[in-house]
């Protein structure tokens, strides 16, 4: 486990706004940043990040914490893995003892098995010949780490026995299958393709049958250390290129993604026999918001394209779709070479054009009923763009639709557009109070704390006194109860930037006035019950002096 000093140093040196911005589109609001929460679905931003507190908080779902917890939750990784990832960002080495981590033992086991599968590939002419027929040379076979699991293999059992991993655990990891003769490797008689996480660690295997057998492709089953929804094949290789060229190519299968890499297009990844998930989009969105979908042209590929388009558009990605007619990317590369793949990407059409082309082939636009059904289908996509307020893409979609139907853009706008957008509540404006400003200065201007400490705390609320005590004791706001967390984050968002010295002077005057008003109230109470003329005279004299001092202080009564 990393030392407390290293953990605090990482939290101190990592820019939480920069980290969160890789996953969430943030806008500056006062001294905080705001965006749509990545942990629950919402249309109105309630997720706040405060660089001064170095914390995040969602007022919608209550998600809250520091930068380490954010990376843990968003990436679905352990505290230690999040710490290592953040440490790399700021060049802080995180020394860890990995011997006691079950996940590390899992990864170590898969790495050992993979090394044995690679040895088996070199010894199996049939498996090598299969790769040669797909155009791979020896250098590429090594580069992409292919392996082979022999027929009726018990390699997993042999390797596991050497490191004391028992059969129930191997079954849990999805490495074995049971036959009449006993347990054998799940991937027996298959070409092995390692599936790696973003840290390049093997977390699962893909198996391609080299004989005529079903299923043709087989993935490791899901385990607590491997979920298809959170892994993109080749992302560990592609992420640098995606960020560099500012777009990602998404394919359906291993060999499609590999084909792009072989062609020099290093920003390609593949989904693992599943649909694009929220976790996939979070990983991609931290690198680029531009996507080219390169799925197969068959019916299943078209369904996958439409489903992925909806997911991407709802998450405000810009998407184009590449066409491969009757060939998938791998086949196109093998038959026509690198330039054919590059041309397919260059000729990719915007999602607006793809959708209109696709549905135009399904519905008869020459008939009224066909046109109505076409427009009803298109309204689903229009609503997605309006819900995410992507007006430019909405306008473009209307133009493309207008070219296919006998309606103008204005007529289509009337047909599609909602009567009103979601509006914020027009309730009473909640202006910051004097105590809000006081806490704001305590948090943001530590050099002014000695001046702030001179302000009379007896005229402050119990909550304000409690928060100031916490701040003076350097307590972590994220560990306090939900009311305090919400209050502090709301406070940091609603106070506009300004001159801290001017703020200090203003609240010092207003608190001084409050202290005087409190004393005047006490005097008035005593005067009502005063029986001594001498005491009454003294009280009236003090009252006149206090009223005169209010005049010298100036200003109004401040916020309530």
User: Considering the domain boundaries, does residue 407 fall inside one?
Assistant: yes
HSE-CB for 350 with a 13 A CA cutoff:
10
Which residues, listed in sequence order, are joined to residue 292 by a DSSP beta bridge?
249, 320
Domain count, the chain: 5
Same domain? 364 vs 335: no
pLDDT of residue 99: 45
DSSP 39: T
For the segment 27-46, what is each residue's pLDDT rounded down to a tens digit? 888 778 888 888 887 777 88
| Integer CA distances (angstroms), 256 to 78, 288, 299, in order | 31, 21, 17
User: Considering the domain boundaries, does residue 428 fall inside one?
Assistant: no
Which of 69-78, 91-100, 521-530, 542-551 is predicted most confidently? 69-78
- Out of 293, 312, 347, pick the residue that ends a domain: 347
User: Considering the domain boundaries, does residue 523 fall inside one?
Assistant: yes
Cα separation, 368 vs 373, whole angstroms: 9
pLDDT of residue 430: 57
Please report, for the domain that includes residue 47, its CATH number. 3.90.580.10
Same domain? 104 vs 221: yes
Q: List the single range of 162-166, 422-426, 432-436 with lowest mean pLDDT.
A: 422-426
For the segment 110-169, what is each residue's pLDDT rounded down to a tens digit? 999 999 999 999 999 999 999 999 999 999 999 999 999 999 999 999 999 998 999 999
pLDDT category of residue 96 using cuts at 50, 70 and 90 = low
Same domain? 85 vs 114: no
Asked if the model's pLDDT at residue 327 lies above 70, the reply is yes
Angle, CA of 225, 262 and 321, to the nearest 5°: 80
Asked if the model's pLDDT at residue 556 lies above 70, the reply is no
pLDDT of residue 6: 87
Residue with tokens 């072989």: 262
pLDDT category of residue 424 using cuts at 50, 70 and 90 = very low
Asked if the model's pLDDT at residue 3 lies above 70, the reply is yes
Same domain? 129 vs 79: no
pLDDT of residue 86: 92
User: Considering the domain boundaries, does residue 427 fall inside one?
Assistant: no
Domain range for residue 207?
A: 99-226
Asked if the model's pLDDT at residue 467 lies above 80, the reply is yes
- Out of 96, 129, 153, pick the residue that ends a domain: 96
Same domain? 190 vs 114: yes
Q: Give the Cβ contact number of residue 335 at 10 Å.
A: 10
Closest residue by Cα to residue 308 from 252, 380, 240, 371 = 252
Main-chain dihedrals φ then ψ at residue 270, nearest 5 degrees: -135, 145
pLDDT of residue 429: 45
User: Considering the domain boundaries, does residue 315 fall inside one?
Assistant: yes
Same domain? 89 vs 111: no
Closest residue by Cα to residue 408 from 392, 421, 395 = 395
Cα separation, 365 vs 362, whole angstroms: 9
Same domain? 386 vs 450: no
Average pLDDT, the chain: 87
DSSP code per residue over 97-144 = -GGG-HHHHHHHHHHHHHHHHHHHHHT-HHHHHHHHHTT--HHHHHHT
Same domain? 313 vs 216: no
Q: Tokens in use for 553?
A: 């202080």
Q: What is the mean pLDDT of residues 466-471?
A: 84
User: Are 338 and 264 in contact, with CB atoms under 8 Å apart?
Assistant: yes
Same domain? 361 vs 311: no
Same domain? 388 vs 336: no
pLDDT of residue 558: 41
For the segment 350-382, what is each residue's pLDDT rounded down to a tens digit? 999 999 999 999 998 988 888 988 998 999 999
Cα separation, 303 vs 312, whole angstroms: 14
Q: List the single range of 34-38, 315-319, 417-421, 525-529 with lowest mean pLDDT.
A: 417-421
Please report, for the domain that includes residue 105, its CATH number. 3.90.980.10
pLDDT category of residue 555 using cuts at 50, 70 and 90 = very low
pTM: 0.67
pLDDT of residue 1: 62
User: Considering the domain boundaries, does residue 423 fall inside one?
Assistant: no
Cα separation, 218 vs 271, whole angstroms: 13
Cα separation, 506 vs 500, whole angstroms: 10
pLDDT of residue 326: 67
User: Considering the domain boundaries, does residue 422 fall inside one?
Assistant: no
- Out of 307, 331, 347, pick the residue that ends a domain: 347
């Amino acid at each position: 486990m990393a030392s407390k000093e290293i953990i605090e140093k990482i939290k101190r040196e990592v820019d939480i706004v920069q980290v969160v911005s890789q996953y969430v589109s943030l806008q500056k609001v006062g001294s905080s940043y705001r965006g749509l929460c990545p942990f629950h679905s919402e249309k109105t931003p309630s997720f706040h990040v405060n660089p001064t507190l170095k914390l995040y908080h969602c007022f919608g779902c209550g998600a809250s914490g520091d930068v380490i917890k954010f990376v843990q939750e968003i990436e679905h990784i352990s505290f230690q893995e999040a710490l290592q990832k953040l440490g790399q960002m700021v060049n802080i080495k995180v020394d860890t003892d990995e011997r006691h981590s079950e996940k590390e033992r899992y990864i170590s086991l898969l790495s050992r098995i993979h090394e044995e599968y690679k040895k088996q590939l070199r010894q199996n002419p049939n498996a090598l010949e299969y790769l040669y027929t797909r155009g791979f040379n020896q250098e590429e076979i090594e580069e992409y780490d292919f392996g082979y699991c022999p027929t009726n293999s018990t390699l997993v059992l042999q390797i596991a026995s050497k490191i004391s991993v028992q059969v129930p655990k191997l079954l849990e990891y999805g490495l074995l299958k049971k036959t009449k003769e006993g347990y054998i490797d799940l991937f027996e008689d298959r070409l092995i393709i390692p599936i790696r996480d973003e840290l390049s660690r093997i977390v699962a295997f893909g198996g391609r049958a080299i004989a005529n057998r079903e299923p043709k492709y087989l993935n490791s089953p899901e385990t607590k250390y491997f979920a298809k929804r959170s892994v993109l094949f080749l992302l560990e290789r592609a992420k640098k290129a995606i960020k560099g060229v500012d777009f990602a190519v998404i394919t359906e299968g291993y060999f499609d993604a590999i084909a792009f890499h072989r062609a020099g297009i290093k920003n390609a990844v593949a989904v693992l026999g599943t649909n694009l998930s929220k976790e996939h989009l979070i990983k991609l969105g931290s690198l680029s918001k531009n996507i080219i979908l390169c799925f197969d042209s068959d019916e299943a590929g078209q369904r996958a394209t439409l489903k992925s388009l909806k997911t991407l558009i709802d998450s405000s990605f810009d998407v184009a779709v590449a066409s491969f007619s009757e060939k998938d990317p791998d086949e196109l590369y093998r038959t026509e070479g690198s330039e054919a793949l590059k041309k397919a990407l260059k000729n990719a059409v915007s999602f607006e054009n793809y959708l209109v082309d696709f549905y135009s082939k399904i519905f008869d636009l020459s008939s009224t009923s066909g046109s109505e059904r076409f427009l009803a289908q298109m309204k689903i996509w229009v609503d997605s763009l309006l819900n995410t307020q992507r007006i430019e893409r909405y306008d473009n979609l209307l133009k493309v639709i207008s070219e296919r139907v006998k309606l103008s853009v204005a007529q289509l706008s009337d047909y599609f557009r909602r009567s009103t957008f979601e509006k914020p509540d027009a309730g009473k404006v909640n202006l910051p109070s004097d105590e809000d400003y006081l806490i704001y200065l305590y948090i943001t201007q530590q050099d002014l704390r000695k001046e702030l400490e001179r302000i009379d705390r007896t005229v402050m609320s119990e909550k304000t006194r409690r928060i100031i005590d916490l701040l003076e004791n350097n307590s972590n706001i994220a560990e306090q109860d939900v009311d305090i967390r919400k209050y502090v984050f709301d406070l940091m968002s609603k106070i506009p930037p300004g001159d801290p010295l001017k703020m200090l002077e203003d609240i010092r005057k207003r608190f001084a006035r409050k202290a005087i008003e409190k004393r005047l109230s006490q005097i008035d109470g005593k005067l009502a019950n005063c029986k001594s003329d001498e005491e009454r005279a003294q009280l009236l004299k003090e009252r006149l002096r206090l009223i005169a001092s209010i005049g010298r202080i100036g200003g109004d009564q401040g916020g309530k």
